[in-house]
Homo-oligomer: A and B are copies of this chain.
Amino acid sequence: MTTAAHRRSRMGIRDVAAAAGVSITTVSDALNGKGRLPDATRRHVREVADRLGYRPSAAARTLRTGKSGLIGLTVTTYGDEPFTFTEFAYFAEMARAATSAALARGYALVILPATSRHDVWSNVALDGTVVIDPSDHDPVVTELVRQGLPVVSDGRPAGTLPVTAWVDNDHEAAVLDLLDHLAAAGARRIGLLTGTTTDTYTRLSTQAYLHWCNRVGQDPVYEAYPAHDPCAGAVAADRLLARPDRPDAVYGLFDPNGTDLLAAARRYGLRVPDDLLLVCCSESTVYATTEPPITTLSLKPRRIGTAVVQLLIDAIEGIGHDHPDGITMPTQLITRASSRGRRHCDA
C-alpha cells in the first residue's frame, strides 16, 4: 500500500524509493546533495532515479520550501503591449543580462507586464521581482512589498516608493559630460530632443540639460514628444531643426532620435557634423554604420541587468549589503564622426 504508484501519472519520489529499496527521505537527500549519506547510497539512488526518468515536482518543492526560484521581470507598458517601442534595444540587452545572471544563480525570469490582471500576478509564485522604471506610486510595487517580497528597480524609484534596492545610471553626470563634449567639439547652441513623460530618466536628463544651459549661459532649445510614439519622434526632430533659433548640435534622449535627426538634417540640407553635431542615447549598433556614424551614449544595460538581479537574489537569500539601497552605474559615450569637431578629420 505504501508504493501505490500502480499506473499513476508520473514517476514520483516514492517510486524511486521503492525501486531503490530505500526511504523517500534518502531519495530526497541523495538527489539534493545533503551530506548525510555515504557516496555509495547516493550514487545508487541517483542511478535508479535516472533510469526511471524521475523529475522532482517543482510545485511540491516550492510549496514545501517556500522558494520557487522564480523572479518577476516587470516591464512598463504603453497601450496593450508589454515593453515600450523606444526601449527595445535597451530592454533586450538588459533582459538578456538579467536572464543570464539569474540563471547562473539557479533562478529563472518570468515576464510580467505591469498592467497584468491581478490574478496573473498572484497565480505565479515569485521569490522577488525586478521592476523597470517604476512610476511614482506604482501599485504593483506596493502590492509586492506588502506581500513581503523583495523588489529591486532598474531606475531610481520616484517619490517614496519602498523598493528594496535600486540600480541606475548617473544620468545628470552623463548628460553634463556629453554636453561638454559637444561644446568642446565646437557646438555653440545645443538643442535637446526630450520626452513628455515624467519618468526619472527623462526628468533627470532634462534637468541636467537645463542646468548646463544655465551654467554656460545658453538659452535652452528643446522639443518634447511622447517617447513611446515613434512617429512623434520624427516630427519633433524636424520641428527642432526648423526653429528660427536652430541649434548647431543636438542631443536626443531616445534610441531612434539619431536616425530621425539625421533624416531631418538631410531635409534641411545640413551636413553632419559640419553644420550639425549629433548625439543620441542608444544601445543600437546601427549608429556605427550610418552615414556618418553617430555618437551614442550607452547606458550599459548589461551591467544594469546583472546588478539588479544580483541585488535581488542577495535580498531573497538574505545576503546583507554594505550599499545603503541604491547603486549607480557608469555610462559610456561612444564617440563617432557625428560629434567630431571641425578640426578633427579622422574617420
Q: Which residues of A contact B (CB under 8 A)?
A: 10, 53, 55-63, 66, 68-70, 73, 80-83, 88-89, 91-92, 95-97, 99-100, 103, 106-113, 116-117, 119-120, 122-125, 146-148, 230, 234, 256, 259-260, 262-263, 266, 284-286, 289-291
Specify which chain B residues have a CB less than 8 angstroms from the CB of A88 in the assembled complex.
Answer: 88-89, 92
Of the candidates A62, A97, A109, the one having the most CB atoms from chain B within 10 angstroms of its own CB is A62
Do A59 and B59 contact each other (CB < 8 Å), given the known contacts A259-B289, A263-B289, A289-B234?
yes
Determine how close the nearest CB of chain B comes to the CB of A278; give it in whole angstroms. 13
- Of B58, B91, B112, the contact of A108 (CB 8 Å cutoff): B112
Determine whether the beta carbon of A96 is less than 8 Å from that of B108.
no
In the bound complex, residues from chain B placing their C-beta under 8 Å from that of A62 are: 59, 62-63, 125
Q: Which of B68, B112, B230 contacts A285 (CB 8 A)?
A: B230
Is B99 touching A58 in the complex (CB atoms < 8 A)? Answer: no
Chain B residues near A57 (CB-CB < 8 A): 63, 125
Q: Please determine whether B110 and A110 come into contact, CB atoms closer than 8 angstroms.
A: yes
Contact A124 B230 (CB under 8 A): no
A88 and B116 alpha carbons, distance in the complex (Å): 24
Most chain B beta-carbon neighbours within 10 Å: one of A60, A63, A91, A262: A63
Contacts of A256 in B (CB 8 A): 285-286
Residue of B nearest to A293 (CB): B263
Q: Do B108 and A123 have beta carbons less than 8 Å apart?
A: yes
Are A100 and B112 in contact (CB-based, < 8 A)?
no
Contact A122 B55 (CB under 8 A): yes
A58-B125, A83-B92, A266-B291 given; A110·B286 CB < 8 A? no
